[in-house]
């Protein structure tokens, strides 16, 4: 749902100009240094990018899902690191609080997240618990007015910079599945928290992940999101539905950038006395990419609108995430092919994007997990 088209158009135009004028020119610096320059981070704060989806009552812009998707289309056209830094505050790092937090928790944390004063981080994945999130082993044992956290979380986005963690932990060891899991909001400076070394990844330079280790970490009982035990897994799944639509939109943006670059290269690059864009086999790759981007964009917008309308979009979110991220990988592969040998050289952005977008098919649930979710939902509906 778009609340005011004119206002949204102005916001999208502002972000497009920021992407083209500031972020794209800094891509090489981020790729070489593995850091986003602080002056760029400050500009992102000033533009309100850390609070795009946080409700206006808590100093954010309160974008709807559809409005957020249009912003993601623009942010996807540059290095994923920029979006990743603000993404946890707008997505999985804050969504748990927005969806299920107490009013006191919201009042305390959300304005800080919206301003970019603190970075939020979402701690679900563990060394032995990834796709099977319900099998997580991190524990939270009640001790008077406190909980004691113990466990290790893995591949946690923005953990090296986080001011607060949303932590999924098992509060009831007698319940082996998802029913024993609770969600907590934890200050990163709490004694007993330590960080592993930054992960060295295939791509996505400037977007940092690492392990987060909790060793007898005492947190107040008030850190329990919503004040209720046993609903943390449900909170996580609600968060991931929203995140999957966002990643799908981001994939559309990245694919659009890669196709734009590939088309420009094909128009300018000459072989056999003419632009390679004149060759039908090149045209086939361009056309396939254009059609798939269009299809993914339609899916993403449809899923976003249904979520804004209050519908259960578990299936639609998974469909959009699966198709859009796989599409993005195919566009990346064709882009390298269109560039030929130049596509394998870091001088061209397609080489970096080829590596960067590979992660889209893994996080927020792998393609195979999306297939399982879609099929299970279909079977459930057919047998009710």
**pLDDT, tens digit, 9 for 90 and up, residues 338-360:** 999 999 999 999 999 999 999 99
pLDDT at position 216, please?
97
Q: Which two tokens stand for residue 252?
A: 């559309």
Q: Report the residue count for the chain.
A: 384
131 SS3 class? coil
Contact between 195 and 213 (Cβ < 8 Å): yes
pLDDT at position 182, please?
93
> Which residues does 307 contact at the CB level (< 8 Å), separation at least 6?
65, 241, 242, 245, 313, 316, 317
State pTM to two decimals: 0.94
Q: Where are the domains of the chain?
A: 5-115, 120-228, 234-383
CATH superfamily of 5-115: Acyl-CoA dehydrogenase/oxidase, N-terminal domain (1.10.540.10)
Mean pLDDT of the chain: 95
Per annotation, catalytic residue among 117, 292, 364, 381: 364
Contact between 140 and 123 (Cβ < 8 Å): no
pLDDT at position 297, please?
98
> Which residues does 146 contact at the CB level (< 8 Å), separation at least 6?
218, 219, 220, 221
CATH superfamily of 120-228: Butyryl-CoA Dehydrogenase, subunit A, domain 2 (2.40.110.10)
pLDDT band for 178, please (50, 70, 90 cuts). Answer: confident
The answer, yes or no, to whether residue 177 has pLDDT greater than 90, is: no
Residue 92, phi-psi category: left (phi > 0), alpha (psi -120 to 50), beta (remainder): alpha
pLDDT at position 384, please?
85
- Helix H or strand E segment including 216: strand 209-220
**pLDDT, tens digit, 9 for 90 and up, residues 44-90:** 999 999 999 999 999 999 999 999 999 999 999 999 999 999 998 99
CA dihedral 301, 302, 307, 311 (to 10 degrees): 180
> Which residues does 305 contact at the CB level (< 8 Å), separation at least 6?
1, 65, 66
**pLDDT, tens digit, 9 for 90 and up, residues 123-176:** 999 998 877 777 899 999 999 999 999 999 999 999 999 999 999 999 988 888
Which fold would CATH assign to domain 234-383?
Answer: Butyryl-CoA Dehydrogenase, subunit A; domain 3 (1.20.140)
**pLDDT, tens digit, 9 for 90 and up, residues 358-370:** 999 998 899 999 9
Examine the residue annotation and report whether 364 is marked as an active-site residue of this protein.
yes
> Which residues does 344 contact at the CB level (< 8 Å), separation at least 6?
336, 351
Distance spanning both ends of the chain, measured CA to CA: 31
Dmax over CA atoms of the chain, in Å, equals 79
**pLDDT, tens digit, 9 for 90 and up, residues 208-230:** 999 999 999 999 999 999 898 99
Which residues are registered as beta bridge partners of 183? 168
Q: Output 319 or 236, whichever has higher pLDDT.
A: 319
Q: Based on the number of CB atoms within 10 Å of its own CB, is 252 exposed (0-12), middle (13-18) or buried (19 or more)?
A: buried
pLDDT at position 57, please?
95
pLDDT at position 232, please?
85
**Which DSSP category does 184 fall into?**
E
pLDDT at position 259, please?
98
pLDDT at position 277, please?
98
Q: What is the C-alpha separation between 378 and 264, in angstroms, rounded? A: 42
Measured at the alpha carbon of residue 175, what is the angle toward residues 172 and 177, in degrees to the nearest 5? 115
**pLDDT, tens digit, 9 for 90 and up, residues 114-134:** 999 999 999 999 998 877 777
Percent over 90 (pLDDT), the chain: 86
pLDDT at position 16, please?
97
Per CATH, 120-228 and 234-383 having the same topology is answered no
- Helix H or strand E segment including 143: strand 139-143
pLDDT at position 2, please?
85
The answer, yes or no, to whether residue 40 has pLDDT greater than 80, is: yes
**HEC secondary structure over 13-45:** HHHHHHHHHHHHHHHHHHHHHCCCCHHHHHHHH
């Amino acid at each position: 749902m778009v609340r005011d088209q004119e206002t949204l158009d102005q916001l999208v135009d502002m972000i497009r100009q920021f992407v083209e004028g500031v972020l794209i020119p800094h891509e090489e610096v981020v790729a070489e240094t593995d850091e986003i320059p602080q002056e760029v981070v400050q500009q992102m704060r000033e533009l309100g990018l850390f609070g795009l989806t946080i409700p206006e009552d808590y100093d954010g812009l309160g974008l709807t899902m559809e409005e957020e998707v249009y912003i993601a289309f623009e942010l996807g056209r540059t290095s994923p690191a920029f979006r990743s830094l603000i993404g946890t505050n707008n997505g999985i790092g804050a969504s748990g609080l927005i969806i299920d937090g107490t009013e006191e928790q919201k009042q305390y944390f959300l304005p800080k997240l919206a301003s970019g004063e603190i970075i939020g981080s979402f701690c679900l994945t563990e060394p032995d618990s990834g796709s099977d999130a319900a099998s997580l082993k991190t524990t939270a044992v009640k001790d008077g007015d406190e909980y004691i956290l113990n466990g290790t979380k893995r591949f946690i986005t923005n953990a090296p910079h986080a001011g607060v963690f949303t932590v999924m932990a098992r509060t009831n060891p007698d319940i082996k599945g998802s029913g024993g899991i609770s969600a907590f909001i934890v200050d990163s400076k709490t004694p007993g928290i330590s960080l592993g070394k930054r992960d060295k990844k295939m791509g996505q330079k400037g977007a940092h992940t690492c392990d987060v280790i909790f060793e007898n970490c005492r947190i107040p009982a008030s850190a329990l999101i919503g004040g209720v035990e046993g609903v943390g897994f449900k909170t996580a799944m609600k968060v991931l539905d929203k995140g999957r639509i966002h990643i799908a939109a981001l994939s559309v943006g990245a694919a659009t950038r890669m196709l734009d670059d590939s088309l420009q290269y094909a128009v300018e690059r000459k072989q056999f006395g003419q632009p390679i864009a004149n060759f039908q086999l090149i045209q086939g790759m361009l056309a396939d990419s254009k059609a798939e981007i269009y299809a993914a964009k339609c899916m993403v917008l449809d899923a976003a609108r249904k979520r804004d309308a209050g519908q259960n979009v578990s299936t639609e979110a998974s469909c959009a995430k699966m198709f859009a991220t796989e599409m993005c990988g195919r566009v990346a592969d064709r882009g390298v092919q269109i560039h030929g040998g130049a596509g394998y050289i870091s001088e061209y952005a397609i080489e970096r994007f080829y590596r960067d977008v590979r992660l889209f098919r893994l996080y927020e649930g792998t393609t195979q997990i999306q297939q399982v979710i879609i099929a299970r939902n279909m079977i459930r509906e057919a047998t009710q």
